[in-house]
C-alpha cells in the first residue's frame, strides 16, 4: 500500500462521514445537572533550567560525564561539543526529575531476562544506573590504565568506549554495553532537546540538522519557497530565536 493511497482513502472516509452527518437526522438527549461549564486551566509558566549548579550529579560525576559526552559528540567545524552545548546540565536535571526516578515506569519486579529487542530489564531507575554505572566505569578505567578517564588521551578514551560499547570490558553489576547505550541516548537527547531543558545551547543541534523548532505556522514559507530549500532559523519553546 502506498502512502498516497492511504491519504486518499482517509480523505474519502472523511468526506463520506461528513456527508452522512449532513443528511442524517440528528437525535439528542438533554441531561440535567452537572457541575457547570468547564473552564480551562492555564498551563504553568515555562521555566528554564538553571545550569549554574548541579542538582543530582556530583562534581566528579559531572566531569566524567562531560569527558564521555565530548568523545561521543566532539567539537568540530560543524558546531560545539556536547559539554559546551549543555548536555551535562541537561542530564543532571533529567536525573533529578521524573525521568531519573522512573516515575512513569513499573519497577517493582519480578525481573525477567528479556529478549534483545525488548531492551534492558531492570528495577533500577536511571538515576541509580548512572550513580552505579559511573562508579563502575571509573573502576574499569583504573583497572586498565591506572588513571581516571578524564586523564586519558583522546585515542585511549575512544578505544575504551569502544570496548564498553561491545561489552568486551565487564562491569561488576551492570552490563557495560547497556550503560553505553544509555549514555549515547542521553547525550543525543541533550544535544537535540529544546534549550529550555539545559542542552542544545544556542540551538546548535537544531541548526546542525535543519530543525526549525517551535514554529507554529509555515504558510509564509510554503507560499514563497515552493520547490526551494527552506532555511528557517530555529525558535525554542521560550519564543527565542
- Residue 225 pLDDT: 75
Q: What is the pTM of this model?
A: 0.78
Question: Residue 56 to residues 16, 59, 94, 101: CA-CA distances in angstroms?
Answer: 56, 10, 9, 11
Contacts of 72 (CB under 8 A, 6+ apart): 82, 161, 183, 184, 187
Q: What is the pLDDT of residues 85-142, one digit of tens each?
A: 999 999 999 999 999 999 998 888 787 877 878 877 788 999 999 999 999 999 999 9
Beta carbons within 10 angstroms of residue 30's beta carbon: 4
Sequence-ordered alpha helix ranges (H) in the chain: 3-23, 59-72, 87-95, 126-145, 154-166, 176-192, 204-209, 219-224
Domain borders along the chain are 59-209, 212-241
Please give the average per-residue pLDDT across 142-155, as a whole number: 97
Q: What is the pLDDT of residues 200-221, one digit of tens each?
A: 999 999 999 989 998 888 887 7
- Residue 21 pLDDT: 43
DSSP characters over 67-84: HHHHHHS--BTTB--TTT
Nearest to 177 by CA among 125, 136, 128, 131: 136
Q: d(Cα 158, Cα 77) in Å, to the nearest integer?
A: 20
Quote the percentage of the chain above a pLDDT of 90. 58
Q: Is 225 helix (H, G, I), strand (E, B) or coil?
A: coil
How is residue 77 written as a grid cell? 567545524
Amino acid at each position: 500500500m502506498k502512502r498516497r493511497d492511504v491519504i486518499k482513502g482517509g480523505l474519502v472516509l472523511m468526506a463520506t462521514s461528513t456527508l452522512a452527518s449532513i443528511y442524517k437526522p440528528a437525535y439528542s438527549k438533554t441531561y440535567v445537572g452537572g457541575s457547570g461549564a468547564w473552564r480551562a486551566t492555564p498551563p504553568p509558566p515555562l521555566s528554564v533550567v538553571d545550569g549554574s549548579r548541579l542538582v543530582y550529579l556530583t562534581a566528579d560525576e559531572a566531569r566524567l560525564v562531560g569527558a564521555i559526552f565530548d568523545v561521543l559528540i566532539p567539537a568540530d567545524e560543524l558546531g560545539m561539543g556536547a559539554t559546551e552545548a549543555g548536555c551535562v546540565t541537561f542530564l543532571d536535571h533529567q536525573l533529578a526529575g521524573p525521568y531519573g526516578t522512573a516515575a512513569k515506569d513499573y519497577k517493582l519486579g519480578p525481573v525477567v531476562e528479556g529478549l534483545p529487542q525488548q531492551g534492558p530489564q531492570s528495577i533500577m531507575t536511571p538515576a541509580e544506573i548512572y550513580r552505579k554505572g559511573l562508579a563502575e566505569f571509573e573502576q574499569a578505567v583504573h583497572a586498565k590504565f591506572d588513571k581516571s578517564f578524564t586523564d586519558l588521551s583522546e585515542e585511549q578514551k575512544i578505544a575504551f568506549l569502544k570496548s564498553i560499547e561491545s561489552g568486551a570490558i565487564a562491569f561488576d553489576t551492570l552490563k557495560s554495553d547497556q550503560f553505553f547505550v544509555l549514555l549515547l541516548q542521553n547525550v543525543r537527547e541533550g544535544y537535540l532537546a529544546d534549550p529550555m531543558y539545559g542542552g542544545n545551547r544556542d540551538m546548535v543541534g537544531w541548526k546542525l540538522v535543519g530543525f526549525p523548532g517551535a514554529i507554529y505556522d509555515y504558510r509564509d514559507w510554503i507560499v514563497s519557497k515552493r520547490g526551494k530549500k527552506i532555511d528557517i532559523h530555529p525558535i525554542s519553546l521560550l519564543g527565542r530565536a
